[in-house]
């Protein structure tokens, strides 16, 4: 198994997941050239991707999709309303644009989308299963609903949003309407939200958690990690034993292979 967050943040998002030799990309929010280069850095060819999954239509999740599909003719899955809302839909090859069902199998991997609360047409997170292994991706969500909590439970690997520090956001330079959007139930998770969500999850003996979609303006990687870690520790979680936290970055690859962390700059 490989999990590599190729990029994460408001400037672009893409996550590579390989399970049972099935290679998947969740979101294509960076350029096709960068996707190709990032995959090559971890020993994978872009041509070998089995499918692309899109969480929602916001540009930081789809900016590279047009070139990626036109050049490599990969199958891409998104909710019908997401396709309708996508700015570049008319330029995409029709045969590549597949409607995302509630469950589908790609190779030996079962992919199940689940609804999330975000200001998009029909946004989703993803849970992926291969044998006894479960991987979840959940970013761009205003709060953790009971449905999301159930979806994330008992994950081996979880990519979870930890977007902002609330004090930094409230005291920062963003205009008030944008601050309200980010803090709303259809906005983004604060560091404290991520920490409490993890603390309240049903978990396996060990879970690897990538803290994702960190704001450059309203967060710092070490602050996100410390805030989440402090909440988990206060709730009796043993960091490094029960949960291992990994940070993600806009311009770096972070991830691991076969449960051995291999952070890549």
Q: What is the pLDDT of residues 217-242, one digit of tens each?
A: 999 999 999 999 999 999 999 999 99
Q: Would 214 be classed as within a structural domain?
A: yes
C-alpha–C-alpha distance, residues 84 and 8, integer Å: 24
Mean pLDDT over the full length of the chain: 96
pLDDT of res. 262: 47
- Decide: 263 and 244 in contact? Cβ < 8 Å: no
Distance of alpha carbon 193 from alpha carbon 89, whole angstroms: 34
What is the pLDDT averaged over residues 53-75?
Answer: 98
- Residue 64 is predicted with a pLDDT of 98
Domain-located, residue 261: no
Does the residue 100 lie in any domain? yes
Judge whether 72 lies within some domain: yes
Confidence of residue 259 (pLDDT cuts 50, 70, 90): low
Is 265 within the bounds of a domain?
A: no
Domain assignment present for 260: no
66: domain CATH number is: 3.60.15.10
Average pLDDT over residues 30-40: 98
Sign of CA dihedral 144, 149, 152, 154: positive
**End-to-end Cα separation, the chain, in angstroms:** 20
pTM score: 0.95
Mean pLDDT of 188-195: 98
Judged by phi (left if over 0) then psi (alpha if -120 to 50, else beta), residue 76 lies in beta
What is the arrangement of strands in the sheet containing 76-78, beginning at the earlier edge strand?
A: 97-99, 76-78, 51-53, 22-26, 14-19, 2-7, 254-257, 260-261
The CA distance from 182 to 235, in Å, is 27
| Structural domain containing residue 70 | 2-250
Pairing between strand 243-247 and 207-212? Answer: parallel
Summarised one tens digit per residue, pLDDT across range 72-97 is 999 999 999 999 999 999 999 999 99
Residue 263 in any domain: the answer is no
Please check whether residue 212 lies inside any domain of the structure: yes
Q: What is the number of domains present in the chain?
A: 1
The answer to whether 39 and 64 are in contact (CB under 8 A) is no
Residue appearing with tokens 């008030």 = 176
């Amino acid at each position: 198994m490989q999990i590599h967050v190729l990029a994460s943040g408001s400037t672009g998002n893409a996550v590579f997941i390989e399970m049972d030799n099935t290679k998947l990309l969740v979101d294509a929010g960076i350029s096709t050239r960068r996707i190709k280069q990032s995959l090559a850095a971890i020993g994978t060819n872009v041509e070998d991707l089995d499918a692309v999954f899109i969480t929602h239509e916001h540009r930081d999740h789809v900016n590279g999709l047009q070139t990626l599909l036109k050049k490599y003719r990969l199958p891409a899955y998104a909710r019908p309303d997401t396709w309708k809302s996508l700015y570049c839909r008319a330029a995409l090859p029709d045969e590549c644009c597949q409607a995302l069902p509630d469950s589908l199998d790609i190779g030996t991997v079962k992919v199940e989308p689940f609804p999330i609360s975000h200001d998009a047409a029909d946004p989703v997170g993803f849970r992926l299963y291969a044998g006894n292994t479960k991987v979840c991706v959940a970013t761009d969500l205003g709060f953790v609903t009971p449905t999301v909590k159930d979806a994330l439970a008992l994950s081996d690997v979880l990519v979870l949003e930890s977007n902002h520090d609330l004090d930094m956001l409230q005291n920062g330079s963003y205009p008030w309407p944008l601050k309200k959007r980010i803090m709303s139930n259809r906005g983004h998770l604060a560091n404290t939200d991520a920490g409490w969500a993890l603390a309240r999850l049903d978990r396996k003996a060990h879970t690897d958690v990538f803290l994702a979609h960190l704001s450059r303006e309203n967060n710092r990687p070490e602050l996100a990690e410390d805030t989440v870690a402090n909440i988990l520790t206060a709730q009796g979680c043993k960091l490094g034993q029960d949960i291992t936290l990994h940070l993600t970055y806009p311009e770096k690859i972070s991830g691991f292979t076969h449960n051995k962390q291999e952070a890549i700059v």
